[in-house]
Structure 1
Amino acid sequence: MQKLIKYIVASSLLFLSGCWDHAELTEYVFVQSLAIDQKKDGSIKLTTQFYKPAPKIASAGGGGESYFNLETEAKSVFDAIRDVTIHLGRKANWGHVRFIVISENVARKHYLGSVLDFFYRDHEPRLLTGVAVTEGSAADYIKEKPHVENTVSEQLNEVTKTGSKFSAKTYPANLFTIGKQLHSEVDTAYAPYLRKEKEKENSIYVDGLSIFHKGKLKTIITNKETKSLMLALNNFQFGIIGITCKGSKLQESFEITESHTNTSVEFKNDVIHYFLQPKLQASIGELECSTIETKEQLEVLHKKLEKQVNSNLKALLKQSQKKNIDIIGLGNDIYRSNPKEWQRIKKEKIPYYKDAVFHVKAEVNILNTGTDISKPFHKK
């Protein structure tokens, strides 16, 4: 019996596949981040940041950075990527790339889907890879040193994600969200906009949001406008809303701890009416001029906050209507609620967004004052 079992096991080995297409780790160099720029002659310049292989035990003892950068140039992104081999003697592996930065120049001139086409077709890149647009050369941003993280690519990835979650001043764009947005009915996509403070080292920060329409960068909105956009998109998690004191430059601040925005579309006499109803719960962060000793005073503060939220959101909608950019995805809502009407709008090329009437009505409830003191702390 034992001989029969051994025979069966030995025979089964003949049907196992071997590693005919395997590759050793020493044949690869692993990508951390990528910067995409364009030269004056129109060619694409890639600055790729790679993980630096750890030294062998016998030669260990040296320090240095855990990464290095390499520049390649070609007529297309894919061609420039493959040129890594003629510089390093290894093939670039994209399975661990964390972040992609694209210069504003490239974003305005080229269709975003074309710039990122390789990353959607190749099997290695992850769809959760972060994407952002930079003021000036994108390469300069991945050459900076990180503050806390081990690499600048990790820092950019965390900045855009946590910046969105706790301040609502940006949107955590990645290959997945951008791909989904570029194939939506309105073809509007969002990506964080990065800047660097002049004459300062390691000074990268997120300064608002890049708005793409029909694949190209059309406008950049401020951090304040981004917070209103996140409310309209129902993507607001945490953030600060400020109210300026009457007759003073002082400002009171309130932290939004919970948010949900209800939206609906109605058609009245061929006019589109869009209703946005943000419902917010807030905590008092700083008081400068308000007093909340009574229920009536608290209600007055609620109304001030609601008025401020409404004003900020209406200002964003008015500005985007002037540019006729469907920044909030109104067309997507029309498509979902009334597909036939949306097909008519597309066929007749009706400027639905520019002519839409928006109705904004926020509801704010302050749940936490932060202390038992019912007036500004500096007042006796």
Structure 2
Amino acid sequence: MARALYIHWPFCLAKCPYCDFNSHVRDSVDFSAWQQALLADLRHEAEAAGGEPLDSVFFGGGTPSLMPPALVGALLDEAERLWGFAEGIEITLEGNPSSVEAANYAALAAAGINRASLGLQALDDRALRFLGRLHDAREGLMALEVAQQHFARVSFDLIYALPGQSIKQWEQQLGQALGYGTGHLSLYQLTIEPGTKFATMVRQGDFKPLDEDASADLFTLTREMTAAAGLPAYEISNHARPGEESRHNLTYWRYQDYAGIGPGAHGRRGGMATVRHKKPENWLAAVADNGNGLSEECALAVPEQASEAMLMGLRLDEGIDLAALSARFGLAPNMLCDPDKLAFYIAQGLAWQSGARTGISGEGMLLLDGLLGELVPKGLVSA
């Protein structure tokens, strides 16, 4: 059953214009009520998905660094009581790099957090203003320094391929980022997501996204620089020193079971998909009425599980083990991956095969979405 636990904290101080995550701005939050509700949701999920000690816990959002450390500690204490913690468990908390939140880092570390993931997003003030961030570059770097003092492992995010961004500008910024010595970086190209403020701005002609060729050049540079610095890509947007990969996110990408609680959280357990109510008030009401925040709980057909496993696993530099997935789902390898198209893309240098393992090459990662649509048979994807 579940070896990983995701806890969603939905609140932010402001909604970033690029963000399509389940995040909400509220004038006030009743922390006592939220603690009681999150503990109830946690207990429900442990009853359904317990049985093995947890390898990882991840507080995501929203902005979990806005949570009172006492609330974080209470949730971790209860999770350990319900599941047990594996030796060396990874416990990550996402946060914005503001001075207010950095002031909580010592208390969060004392509560049990041992890995921090900071949303720096950019290292210069102009880009931060464009991205709608509340911190400036100086404040962000100070928060990073504080995080490195208190947590055994630290990662931070940057967004690149901004409008008008040149290779030279990104090379300078990425070189600066690599110089801070963290063992993990999440480096995302700016994507204009439907329903975001940026989508409206692009539609209105307020700015023009960077073109695909320029974005591809930045992606290639990113992989070259991170590999040279000893933090190669292990997933399309994530880079780490060997051994410092996000254990929690690998659970998703390797299609292993995980429990998800809190507003909008998803989970996978024993072939079941779980989804929580997204709106905070609706989730609270569901917990009050039913003892959990579930909005949906359904069994996934085997082909659908296999499709998800393929689509997630091919994001990874390690690729997937076709023989293992074939045995797991009782489906022939050619039902999981089109052999003729795989051979074609291997010849094109966009995919690779080594023994039982199959994956997308660095060049192929530029075309990942299209390749997934080609390699994973349509009947499997639509099942």
Q: Give the TM-score range, shorter chain.
A: under 0.3
- Bigger relative contact order (CA 8 A; separation at least 6): 2
Structure with the larger strand share: 1
Structure with the larger helix share: 2
- Mark the structure with the bigger radius of gyration: 1
TM-score, normalisation: structure 1? 0.26
